[in-house]
Structure 1
Amino acid sequence: MDNNQLGIEAMQKGNFEEAATAFSKAIEEQPADPISYVNFGNLLSAVNELEKALKFYEKAIEIDENTATAYYGAGNVYFNQENYNEAKNMYEKALRKGLDNGDLHFMLGLCMLQIDQHRLALPYFQRAVELNEDDADARFQYGLCLAQLELIDEAMIQFQTVVTLDEQHADAFYNLGVAYAFKEDTIKAKEMLEKALMIQPDHMLAGHALNIIGENKQ
């Protein structure tokens, strides 16, 4: 097994020092291999050494400008630093260089939300869900985007799938409750909001919505 693989396995087990040693050896053995730098960057990101991580991603890109995962890693650094425009630029470069997975589309969608481009976020969340149908987080964000664009029926389908994937997703139940209330189905709205509160008793929005429904019934 090569040092990159050893390092990845050590990282997955939380053995970060062992991973660092393995990735260092990989770089020594093949200094012109950009993947070793990406792996070391991922390790540094995992321990929140973001500036150092960025330097490793930049080195990988310097060696081979087509290293899509290096742009993705750099995008994650910028996203964690709340530099959403730069994160978006890096994610878009990763996409152009051939990276096409659910996580990348999900992160691009989140960037669009952060810069108030809700309509532009929609296709990224849709693609993230297409690439990973069991990703409850991506599906939830896709549902929120649809709801914000007043596509309520389509949003409800996504929220219903989320609660099937994750029965403890209080926010999805809350949003289902709001959607049913919007459609004037008070019984279903109340049922969904109560489920949200059962999962998360301090869910203030669900509690507030339930109170409004109760007041309107009086």
Structure 2
Amino acid sequence: MDKNERAIELMKEQKYEEAAELFNDIIEENPKDPLGYINFGNLLLHINDAERARRFYERAIELDKHAATAYYGLGNLYYEKSEFQKAQQNLLKVIEIGLEEAHAYYLLGMTFFHQEQFKLALPYLMRATDLSPEDTEFTFQYGLALAQSEHIDEAKPVFQKVLELDSNHSDAHYNLGVVALYEENLSEALDHFNHALAVQPEHALAANAKKQIMEVWDNTDM
């Protein structure tokens, strides 16, 4: 096990000071190698020292303009700070360089999603689900972006896939309930809202939707 591998293992063991010392040694021994700076940046970002992490990633890029993981680190950093346009710039660079990383596509899609540019989010979220089809969050957010883009028919099987991955995903049940309302199937909608509330009793949107269905039925019975 080389020093980089050992330092990464120390990070996983939450021995951050020891990992930092090793990364520092690596940089001193190989000051022109971007990998040491990238790994040290990852450590700093992990312990919420975003400003120092940014400097390490930028130094890595100075040494290698094609250091995809440095751009990925910056993209992740800016995403966590909700600086979505800066995150986009760096994540697009990751993809341009050719790093096929599901989480990079996911983050890029979500930068557009958070700016309510749902159609622009779609290809990146779809690619994230292609690369990591068992990831529940990637799949759910892709379905949500489809729904927000008014592709309701395409969103439905995606939410159903979420339930295949996690039958207790309350938000997937809620959104399938909304789809059922769109299809004018009140019984199916109510079933999904009840499932959402069984999993998450404080799910306000599901509770409100259920209340509205019950009011419609009460008025129909009158």
TM over 0.5, shorter chain: yes
Residue of structure 2 equivalent to 1:73: 73
Match for residue 87 of structure 1?
87
Mapping 1:90-129, distance limit 5 Å: 90-129=90-129
Q: CA RMSD in A?
A: 1.0
Cα displacement string for residues 21-66 of structure 1 (whole angstroms, at most 9, x for unaligned residues) = 2211221221111111111101100110000000000010011111
Amino acid at match of 1:162: V
Cα distance in 2 for residues equivalent to 1:102 and 1:5: 23
1:117 deviation in Å?
1.4
Moved over 2 A (4+): none
Matched residue of 2:24: which SS?
helix
Q: Aligned residue for 2:137? A: 137
- Who is 2:179 aligned against? 179
Q: Which amino acid aligns with 1:81?
A: K
Map of 2:9 onto structure 1: 9
- Answering whether residue 43 of structure 2 is matched by residue 38 of structure 1, we say no
Q: Match for residue 54 of structure 1?
A: 54
Distance in 2, Cα, partners of 1:168 & 1:7: 38
Q: Distance in 2 between matches of 1:114 and 1:186?
A: 30
CA contact (8 A) 1:85 1:115 kept: no
More deviation in 53-62 or 165-174?
165-174
**Contact 1:109–1:122 at 8 Å: present in 2 too?**
yes
**Alpha-carbon shift at residue 164 of structure 1 (Å):** 1.4
CA displacement, residues 105-140 of structure 1 (integer Å, 9 cap, x when unaligned) = 100001111222111100001000000101111111
Cα deviation, residue 19, structure 1: 1.5
Q: Which 10-residue stretch deviates more, 88-97 or 23-32? A: 23-32
Q: Which moved more, 1:163-172 or 1:122-131?
A: 163-172
Q: Which residue of 2 aligns with 1:203?
A: 203
Shift of 1:183: 0.7
Which residue does 1:166 correspond to in 2?
A: 166
Verify the 8 A CA contact 2:118 2:146 in the aligned structure 1.
no
**Cα distance between partner residues in 1 of 2:50 and 2:151:** 38
Give percent identity, aligned residues only: 44
> Structure 2: how far apart are the matches of 1:135 and 1:111?
18
Q: Aligned pairs, how many? A: 218
- TM-score when scaled to structure 1? 0.97
Look up the equivalent residue of 1:31 and give its one-letter code.
Answer: P
Post-superposition offset of 1:95: 1.1
Q: Structure 2 counterpart of 1:2, which letter? A: D
